């Protein structure tokens, strides 16, 4: 996995150079160095200090953070997008399913405390993933952790590939809500932010820096994939029930923030199932002696 991450990182650099993208490399290089350092510390802890569970956690975190870092640059080198955004089509699909994002926000505006709580749930995804890595390492669930990491990598690749062919940025860029409703719900994706995402898709960022890196993949929803990752791989542990409860709330939390259509979550579920299938075949159970 570390070799694959390095290869993706080199590909991102090559794309940026070939496509003549302006990149502020210094902070990214610092992040890569930190990732490699974390993996090196994990190797040291495993072989010198004989602490396999701590080493597993360190290397696991290094793999996940390293891949998300290199994939961020890779994604932003793809801007501006060659194909038009398909959000109007996705909005029509949502309406066929009986879902309307402004209607959800109007309802949530009457319950601002619940809306703010959903905001905390929405922003907990990355923390949950990192905690799951630590948990699986602490419980010596090596096979589960390896599959967890591989599913995370494979599903992000699939999600980005789909998004690049049929790009979308979420309903906030196409549907308007009253400012009072946005303030009452504490929405992160405001109409202005939606316009910013559309500009990214059409023009691209002038310079790729950590400040402009943000979530842009709407369909399929990687937020949904991360929630499913945590729930699926905490099965059989004490963390399963709280993880299931929090990530059940992740469904309305993801919908409410305006970065995803309802069909995005369905797409995320399908990609997750495919990712688990692939990981189970690439990383098999070791035969018992």
Question: Which tens digit of pLDDT belongs to each residue from 87-108?
Answer: 999 999 999 999 999 999 999 9
pLDDT averaged over every residue in the chain? 89
Question: Mind giving me the DSSP string for 46-97?
Answer: HHTS--HHHHHHHHHHHHHHHHHHHHHHHHHHTPSPSSPP-HHHHHHHHHHT
Q: State the pLDDT at residue 201.
A: 84
Confidence at 286, pLDDT banded by 50, 70, 90: low
Confidence at 210, pLDDT banded by 50, 70, 90: confident
DSSP letter assigned to residue 259: S
Judge whether residue 264 has pLDDT over 70. yes
Region 174-178: mean pLDDT is: 88
Token reading at 268: 């995320």
CA dihedral 88→90→94→95, nearest 10 degrees, is 30
Q: Which of 60-64, 166-170, 175-179, 212-216 has the lowest mean pLDDT?
A: 212-216
Q: Residue 21: what are its φ and ψ, rounded to 5°?
A: -80, 140
Give the DSSP H or E segment for 24: none
Q: State the pLDDT at residue 247.
A: 96
Judge whether residue 25 has pLDDT over 70. yes
Q: State the pLDDT at residue 131.
A: 96
Report pLDDT digits (tens) over 33-74. 888 898 899 999 988 888 889 999 999 999 998 888 888 888
Token reading at 194: 């939606």
CA-CA distance, 64 to 1, in Å (whole number)? Answer: 10
CA-CA distance, 97 to 94, in Å (whole number)? Answer: 5
Confidence at 188, pLDDT banded by 50, 70, 90: low
Question: Which alpha helices (DSSP H) does the chain contain, by range?
Answer: 2-18, 25-47, 52-77, 87-96, 101-108, 112-122, 125-138, 142-165, 179-185, 191-202, 222-233, 240-256, 262-282
Q: What is the pTM of this model?
A: 0.90
Q: What share of the chain has pLDDT > 70, as a percent?
A: 97
Q: State the pLDDT at residue 100.
A: 94
Residue 23: helix, strand or coil by DSSP? strand
Q: State the pLDDT at residue 1.
A: 84
Residue 208: helix, strand or coil by DSSP? strand
Residue 222: helix, strand or coil by DSSP? helix
Q: State the pLDDT at residue 248.
A: 96
Q: Is 237 exposed, middle or buried (0-12, 13-18, 19+ CB in 10 A)?
A: middle
Region 98-123: mean pLDDT is: 92
Report pLDDT digits (tens) over 122-152. 999 999 999 999 999 999 999 999 999 999 9
Confidence at 273, pLDDT banded by 50, 70, 90: very high
């Amino acid at each position: 996995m570390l070799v694959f991450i390095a290869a993706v990182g080199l590909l991102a650099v090559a794309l940026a150079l070939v496509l003549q993208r302006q990149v502020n490399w210094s902070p990214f290089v610092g992040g890569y160095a930190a990732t490699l350092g974390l993996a090196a510390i994990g190797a040291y802890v495993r072989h010198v200090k004989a602490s396999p569970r701590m080493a597993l956690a360190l290397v696991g975190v290094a793999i996940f953070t390293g891949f998300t870092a290199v994939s961020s640059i890779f994604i932003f080198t793809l801007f501006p997008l060659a194909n038009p955004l398909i959000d109007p089509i996705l909005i029509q699909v949502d309406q066929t399913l009986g879902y309307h994002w402004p209607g959800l926000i109007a309802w949530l505006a009457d319950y601002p405390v619940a809306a703010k709580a959903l905001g905390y749930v929405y922003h907990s995804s990355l923390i949950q993933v990192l905690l799951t890595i630590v948990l699986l390492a602490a419980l010596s669930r090596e096979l589960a952790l390896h599959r967890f990491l591989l599913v995370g990598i494979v599903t992000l690749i699939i999600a980005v590939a789909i998004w690049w062919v049929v790009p979308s940025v979420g309903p906030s860029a196409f549907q308007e809500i009253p400012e009072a409703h946005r303030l009452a719900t504490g929405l992160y994706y405001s109409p202005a932010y939606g316009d910013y995402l559309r500009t990214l898709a059409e023009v691209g960022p002038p310079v790729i820096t950590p400040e402009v890196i943000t979530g842009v993949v709407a369909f399929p929803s990687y937020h949904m994939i991360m929630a499913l990752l945590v729930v699926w791989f905490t099965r059989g542990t004490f963390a399963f029930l709280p993880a299931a409860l929090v990530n059940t709330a992740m469904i309305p939390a993801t919908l409410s923030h305006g970065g995803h259509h309802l069909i995005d979550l369905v797409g995320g579920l399908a990609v997750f199932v495919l990712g688990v299938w692939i990981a189970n075949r690439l990383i098999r159970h070791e035969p018992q002696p």
